[in-house]
Chains A and B, each alone.
Chain A
Amino acid sequence: MATDATERSEDVPWPQQILDSIWLLALAAILYWVLAYVVWGIVDILAVPMG
């Protein structure tokens, strides 16, 4: 079974392997969203001096 999977991964073009790695894509996208929108935004809010 493992051999089949190895052979198959050698046959399949790498862009298709990326598109088939749905959980990995989801994880990467969530991480990017957290950093770009949430974390950076909170850093900006915290950087505002207290009134």
Chain B
Amino acid sequence: MFGFSTHEYDDEGFRTCNVTGLTIHRSAEDMVKLYGLTAIVALAIGGVFAFFVAMTRWELVSLLSPADFYTYLSMHAWNLLIFWMIFMEIAILYVGGAFVLGRRLSLPRLAKVGWVVMATGAVVVNAAIWTTEAPNQAPLLTSYVPLPSNWQFYAGAIVFILGAVVAALPFFATIWHERRENPNETLPLVTFGAFITGIVALESLVGGLITYVPTLLWRVGEFSTMDPAFYRQMYWIIGHGSQQINLLAMITVWYFLTHVLGGAEVASQKVSRTAFVLYLFFINLGAAHHLMSDPVVSTGWRMWNTSYAAYGAVLASMIHAFAIPAGLEAGRRAKGKGGGLFGWLWSSPWDDPGFSATIMSIILFGFLGGITGVMMGQMQLNMTWHNTLATVGHFHATVVTGTTLAFMGLAYYVLRLVFGRDWAMKPFAKIQPYLYAGAMSLLVLMMMYVGILFGVPRRHPSVMDIPGTEFSFAPAKPFFVVFGVAALLAILGGALFVLIAVASLLTGDRFDADSVGDVTRAAADGGDAKPIHEYSMRGTFTLCLVFLATFVVLWGLNWYLLSTVWQIGP
């Protein structure tokens, strides 16, 4: 497809990947290319709007008028949080399903129909946002009723969601056929993770239909009113659930890429699978943390869904946070590539952008996104974070320094292993993940800092001048200089990725597996006969202790900050 591929297939349409050893069928490979490239187009569009948004919030520049800001912010959010992510996630489902199982993609025509419907929905949503005029509101992501948005926006969102459901069906059909033909075999861990991702996605997408279909009917006049409480509760199923798909897809990619690029093994199949099952049951309930201050739902509902249930998902994250680096450490030690406490880490292929993007995704997601997510999910600490720029910092940490970096790492290998093209502009490809991750980390820290310590609000074009308030945010001004410079560097890093991807497709040399520096790192065959869990994982254990110490310090600090603002009495 697209004429970029260098691969040849046998009479039945299969080929063997000479790096991973996977048996890949053309039906799946073509769809991975189609969905992956569409995702990168959405990334480029969203990245362009990131420039306008960041340069407006940096008031030294003040690029956009207040009237335009929300429209540009909505374009930025929908293209990056939804279209870039979900097109990529469908590609990941096909990799985790058909690729890893060595099967044809079941119902391949449905995969094409799904792409057409998704792409149509994405175009309609973009057009609806761009042409928004009063009294309609640019919808951003929440688009809370009774504030109205274009009816075309709701229609576009419904079409996109339906398209995503249709696109997921070939993945489920592939798994169904695999289980029917091999009922006594256990699915590979990556396929298991992709399956859990698919079910969580299905819940989220159904929530989207429950939300947007009645809202569209209200907007076109079929319903006279739309209950805002019903909207809020149902909306967050997809509003937060769509981000949980990112989380699960990202973790599946972590297992896949650390295995393929770093020679990681799975330290314990049952522990990792149990963690995925915890996600399956509990992760989507975390959506309730958006309704912490909602007067309609009961305290019992809020506490159950955000505490007792959602902590099952937190436990799952802790397990993956140990299991993935532990698998990398044990796998590399088994191959004789790890001495001392961190020798396995230092000897890793850090000049490989797929590897470096993956490892930085793991570290930054954990330290910046994960810890803050758990804190924000707690009813008390949520009060100091809610609707400040710190919240935006949190989800940029999860979705950008976490998921986007992981997906960039995967895309580097899609270019090589699926398109058969080697990376163009190699010196730049090697530094791109570091530039992007470093700048985004600084950006995220500034957002959190000005949000938590100064209470700077989100969703507002200006910081120092907020009509209707007497607050002064002037002390936050110097931090916005750092914010602005970091944003420019991060956008440069993102643009560099798109440029490398396009240049690789158009001018990249044919990828030769022998050119991989260390072929055995891709074999990941388990090393010698010694069971993998018998290798030392003390380096990972040390890293986990550092992580937990950071968690405790930040937790205590946030409680201290809460205590300084919540004073009762004279």
Residues of chain A at the chain B interface (Cβ within 8 Å): 4-5, 8, 15-16, 19-20, 22-23, 25-26, 28-30, 32-33, 36-38, 40-42, 44-45, 47-48
Report chain B residues within 8 Å CB of A36.
285, 304-305, 309
A-B contacts, CB under 8 A, total = 71
Decide yes or no whether B237 CB sits under 8 A from chain A: yes
Whether the Cβ atoms of A48 and B285 lie closer than 8 Å is: no
The CA of A38 and the CA of B236, in the complex, are separated in Å by 11
Least Cβ–Cβ distance between B479 and chain A, in angstroms? 37
Known: A44-B297, A44-B301, A45-B297. A37 touches B237 (CB 8 A): yes
Whether the Cβ atoms of B284 and A45 lie closer than 8 Å is: no
- With both beta carbons as reference points, the residue of chain B lying nearest to A41 in the complex is identified as B233
Whether the Cβ atoms of B233 and A19 lie closer than 8 Å is: no
Minimum-distance CB pairs A-B, first 7: A29-B280, A26-B199, A44-B297, A41-B233, A44-B298, A29-B281, A19-B273
Report chain A residues within 8 Å CB of B175.
22
Decide yes or no whether B288 CB sits under 8 A from chain A: yes
Report chain B residues within 8 Å CB of A33.
203, 281, 284-285
Q: List 24 A-B residue pairs with CB atoms under 8 Å apart, sorted by A's residue number.
A: A16-B186, A16-B270, A19-B273, A20-B187, A22-B187, A25-B277, A28-B281, A29-B277, A30-B203, A33-B281, A33-B285, A36-B304, A36-B309, A37-B237, A37-B285, A37-B287, A37-B288, A38-B237, A41-B301, A44-B301, A45-B229, A45-B230, A45-B296, A45-B297
The CA of A8 and the CA of B187, in the complex, are separated in Å by 16
Report chain A residues within 8 Å CB of B233.
41-42, 45
Least Cβ–Cβ distance between B489 and chain A, in angstroms? 40
Whether the Cβ atoms of B285 and A26 lie closer than 8 Å is: no
Least Cβ–Cβ distance between B236 and chain A, in angstroms? 9
Least Cβ–Cβ distance between B306 and chain A, in angstroms? 11
The CA of A16 and the CA of B301, in the complex, are separated in Å by 32
Least Cβ–Cβ distance between A27 and chain B, in angstroms? 9
The one of B183, B186, B277 in contact with A5, judged by C-beta atoms closer than 8 angstroms, is B183
Query: Which residues of B from 153 to 183 have beta carbons under 8 Å from A?
Result: 175, 179, 183
Decide yes or no whether B184 CB sits under 8 A from chain A: yes
Whether the Cβ atoms of B184 and A8 lie closer than 8 Å is: yes
Whether the Cβ atoms of A26 and B305 lie closer than 8 Å is: no
Decide yes or no whether B274 CB sits under 8 A from chain A: yes
Known: A37-B285, A41-B301, A45-B296. A22 touches B230 (CB 8 A): no
The CA of A44 and the CA of B237, in the complex, are separated in Å by 16
The CA of A16 and the CA of B277, in the complex, are separated in Å by 12
The CA of A4 and the CA of B1, in the complex, are separated in Å by 43
Report chain A residues within 8 Å CB of B301.
40-41, 44
Per-residue interface assignment for chain B, residues 187 to 219, with 1 indicating a CB less than 8 Å from any chain A CB and 0 otherwise: 100001001000100110000000000000000
Least Cβ–Cβ distance between A20 and chain B, in angstroms? 6
Report chain A residues within 8 Å CB of B68.
none
Report chain A residues within 8 Å CB of B184.
4-5, 8
Known: A15-B270, A32-B281, A37-B287. A44 touches B296 (CB 8 A): yes
The CA of A44 and the CA of B294, in the complex, are separated in Å by 11
Report chain A residues within 8 Å CB of B518.
none
Whether the Cβ atoms of A20 and B297 lie closer than 8 Å is: no
Decide yes or no whether B525 CB sits under 8 A from chain A: no
The one of B179, B187, B229 in contact with A48, judged by C-beta atoms closer than 8 angstroms, is B229
Whether the Cβ atoms of A22 and B288 lie closer than 8 Å is: no
Whether the Cβ atoms of A19 and B229 lie closer than 8 Å is: no
Report chain B residues within 8 Å CB of A23.
179
- With both beta carbons as reference points, the residue of chain B lying nearest to A40 in the complex is identified as B301
Report chain B residues within 8 Å CB of A48.
229, 296
Least Cβ–Cβ distance between B76 and chain A, in angstroms? 29
Least Cβ–Cβ distance between B173 and chain A, in angstroms? 13
The CA of A29 and the CA of B281, in the complex, are separated in Å by 5
Report chain A residues within 8 Å CB of B297.
41, 44-45
- With both beta carbons as reference points, the residue of chain B lying nearest to A11 in the complex is identified as B184
Report chain A residues within 8 Å CB of B512.
none
Decide yes or no whether B465 CB sits under 8 A from chain A: no
Decide yes or no whether B133 CB sits under 8 A from chain A: no
- With both beta carbons as reference points, the residue of chain A lying nearest to B183 in the complex is identified as A5
Decide yes or no whether B227 CB sits under 8 A from chain A: yes
Whether the Cβ atoms of A37 and B305 lie closer than 8 Å is: yes
Greatest chain A CB density within 10 A among B175, B199, B230 is at: B199
Least Cβ–Cβ distance between B276 and chain A, in angstroms? 9
The CA of A4 and the CA of B183, in the complex, are separated in Å by 11
Whether the Cβ atoms of B199 and A30 lie closer than 8 Å is: yes
Report chain A residues within 8 Å CB of B179.
22-23
Whether the Cβ atoms of A45 and B285 lie closer than 8 Å is: no
Report chain A residues within 8 Å CB of B288.
37
Least Cβ–Cβ distance between B202 and chain A, in angstroms? 8
The CA of A15 and the CA of B269, in the complex, are separated in Å by 12
The one of A5, A26, A42 in contact with B280, judged by C-beta atoms closer than 8 angstroms, is A26
The one of A8, A37, A40 in contact with B284, judged by C-beta atoms closer than 8 angstroms, is A37
The CA of A45 and the CA of B295, in the complex, are separated in Å by 10
Report chain A residues within 8 Å CB of B230.
42, 45
